[in-house]
Structures are given as C-alpha cells and as structure tokens.
Amino acid sequence: MRFDWRRAAAVARKEWFHIRRDPFTLALALVLPLVMVVVYGVAIDFNIKGVSLAVSDSDASQASRRLVDTFDSSAYFRILPAASPAQAVEDVVAERAKAALIIPPDFEKDLSAGRGARAQLLLDGADNATVAPVSQYAATIQTMASERIAGVDLTPPYTLRTRFLFNPELNSRWFVIPGLTVVIMAILSIFLTAMTVAREWENGSMELLLSTPVEPLEIIAGKAAPYAVLGAVALSFVYLIARLGFGVPFAGHLWVFALGCAIFLLTYLAQGLLISVTTRQQTIAMQLSMLTGMLPSNLLSGFVFPIASMPKFFWFFTMLLPARWFMVIARRTFLEGSSLLQLRVPFAALSASCVVMVALATRSFRRSLE
C-alpha cells in the first residue's frame, strides 16, 4: 500500500474547513475545557472549610467556652449558637447546620472531679461528603482543646508527625485539575472523531472519497490530524489555566506529560474512529462515545472515585482503560515530577491499549470499505 502525504493533507485540509464552519465543534473544543476547568476548579471544592456548627452550651463554664473557642478558631467551623440541645438538633435537621456540638450542664464539674466529662458531636450522616473530613477535623480539635482546658501539655509518649508530600496543603484543586486534562481530552478526541467518519457515511460522501484513488490510511490520518491539533490546543489551554489561573504546580518534565498526552490522544482518536466506522450514524456514534469514552474517563479512571477502593472486578476492569493509566501519568507528572522511568508501568499499559485500539480501528475501517 502506498501512503501519500499529499492526499492525507488534502483530507486534513478539507476536515479543517468543516471544523472552521461548524460552531459546535469549535465550541466543544475550546469552550468545554474552559467551562470544565472553571467548574471543577472554582465551584467544586473538595476542601471543606467553614462548616456550620450548632453549639448548645448548657454548662457556660470556662472549660466549655474553651472547647467552643477551639472549634471557632480553627477556620474549619463556623459557630451557630443554639439556645438548647433540642434547638441544636433542630438546626441540623433544618439544614441550618452541618453538625451540632452539645455540651451538658456538668461539663466542667465532671472534668475537675476527674470523672471524665462528656460532650456530644452530632454529624449529618446523610451528607457523606462532609462527614469524613469533619470528623477528622473534630478529632484534631479535640486534642487541641484537651490541652487548652487542662492547661497542661499532654505530651504523648511518642508523636506521629504527618506531612503531606507533593501537595502539602492537601489542596484538592492540585489533585483535580491535572486529572481534568484526562477527562477533557477523552471527551474531545472521542466525540469529534466519532462524529466525523459517521458524517461521511450519512452524507454519502464516503462514496465520493472511495471513488478516488485515496487510501483508507490516508483518510484516517487526514481526518485525525486536525482533531489532534484541536486536542493539543485545548490541552495547552487547560495547562495554562491550571498553572496561571489556579497556581497548580508542575513538578515533572513537560515532555513526559506531552508524550502521555500524545499516546492517550491517539488511543481515543482511534476509539472514536472505531465507533464511527461501526455505527455509521452520528446520533448512535454520539451515544456510544458517551458510554465508552466519557463515562469511564470520569468514573472509572480514578478521577472522582479512588480505584483502590473499588470492588475487585472493577479494580481489574479499569486496567483495560487507557484513561486510568493516563490519569496516573497526568497526576504524577504534575505533582510528583515523576520521570518516564518511574512511570514505565502506566506508559507501557497506555501504549499497549493505543496499539490495540489503532489496529482495531484501521482494520474495521478497511473491512467496512470492502
């Protein structure tokens, strides 16, 4: 088979004309990354601060005030005074507060008598997303409050000093935005290519292409090229917003990240093509790209739900997903500065899925033309 660059370039040029005149494609490629970065970066903040805490202090003693002050000064909680324990509970039920702290009347007396004073912390268990961090904060605050109330330094026999590597402040944006590059690229590449070949079949223009001496591989290369460029542009866009807009650090080598992007993009372009070739209809192609591209890259890549906590089946299943491996590459190059050698496993897995997908797509495309 003879591959002719000029014919492939002609296909690419024609495809570029389509893109330029189709506001939907351009919007999808340029606006979608922007919207997603802003939504995930600004609106969705996985760090919880200023949790409203309804406080009913029936003791009103020095000790109880110290306890409340410790919560108040932590910045994680916002105090909402309640007249009675019932009122505090009512605040949680009515969604005015996320948690309630109830201090009984004999708090200080029990404390000084050495009977072991008790206070109660009520959390809204229906809101799974806040319970875990809030109870964690509360535990830390309890230790601090104990020291303050007792007025002594309760030094334990040993200390466990926790330090967070790579993301010292546990800033969730640092974690989310690199992962977002994966989701955005997955959506763009798979959607756009899935539509492009299906459109040729639907219009009947595939016949026109085939009646000329153009080769299948020239069509594929020509069609993929402009979308690859578009994907790269969108990605640079996300990268710049991440670095400049949100101050996400980039610790690794840009070329390692770029290499990962290129392999991932190629894999998903091929997957889009495969969808396009098999469905030949734009609407079905669209739905299939959602199902096989967008959903897994969102839900099963480790972007939102940690893979380590998935049931065994999914834990193995995600191994087949290029998005899972690219997610590792994106996060580790951004935050940990991992080298290609350190990332050899995800790179090998991603490359393997790329080879398989490209082979499948070209084979099914050739078959469909016969």
Partner 1 sequence: MSAEPAVEARGLSVRYGDFTAVDRVSFSVARGEIFGFLGANGAGKTTTIRVLCGLLPPTEGAVRVAGRSYADGERAIKEKVGYMSQKFTLYNDLTIGENLDFIASLRKLEPSYYARRRDELMELISFKKGLGEKVGALSGGTKQQVSLAAALLHDPEVVFLDEPTAGVTPAGRDRFWKLIRRVAGSGKTVFVTTHYMDEAEQCGRIALMRSGKLVAMDSPAGLKKSVFPEPVFEFDPLGTLSFAALAAFESHQAFSFFEPYGPRFHAAAAGPEAWARWRPELEKTFRIREIAPSLEDVFIRVVESAA
Positions that interact with partner 1 (CB under 8 A): 4, 6-7, 9-11, 13-14, 17-18, 21-22, 203-205, 207-214, 370
Nearer to partner 1 by Cβ, of 220 and 323: the residue is: 220
Residue 6 neighbours by CB under 8 Å, 6+ apart: none
Nearer to partner 1 by Cβ, of 17 and 316: the residue is: 17
User: How would you label 266-278 residue by residue, b for 16+ Cβ within 10 Å and e otherwise?
Assistant: bbbbbbbbbbbbb
Q: How far is it, in rounded angstroms, from Cα 143 to Cα 285?
A: 57
User: How would you label 321-338 residue by residue, b for 16+ Cβ within 10 Å and e otherwise?
Assistant: bbbbbbbbbbbbbbbeeb
Q: Residue 124 CB, nearest distance to partner 1 (Å)? A: 54
Nearer to partner 1 by Cβ, of 28 and 134: the residue is: 28
Nearer to partner 1 by Cβ, of 192 and 307: the residue is: 192
Q: Phi then psi for 120, rounded to 5 degrees?
A: -115, 135
Q: Residue 27 CB, nearest distance to partner 1 (Å)? A: 16
Q: Residue 217 CB, nearest distance to partner 1 (Å)? A: 13
Distances (CA, A) of 61 to 46, 75, 211, 231: 36, 23, 91, 63
- Cβ count within 10 A of residue 83: 10
Nearer to partner 1 by Cβ, of 4 and 45: the residue is: 4
78 with 50: CB under 8 angstroms? Answer: yes
Q: How far is it, in rounded angstroms, from Cα 147 to Cα 155?
A: 9
Q: Residue 18 CB, nearest distance to partner 1 (Å)? A: 6
Nearer to partner 1 by Cβ, of 153 and 370: the residue is: 370
Q: Residue 212 CB, nearest distance to partner 1 (Å)? A: 4
Q: Residue 15 CB, nearest distance to partner 1 (Å)? A: 10
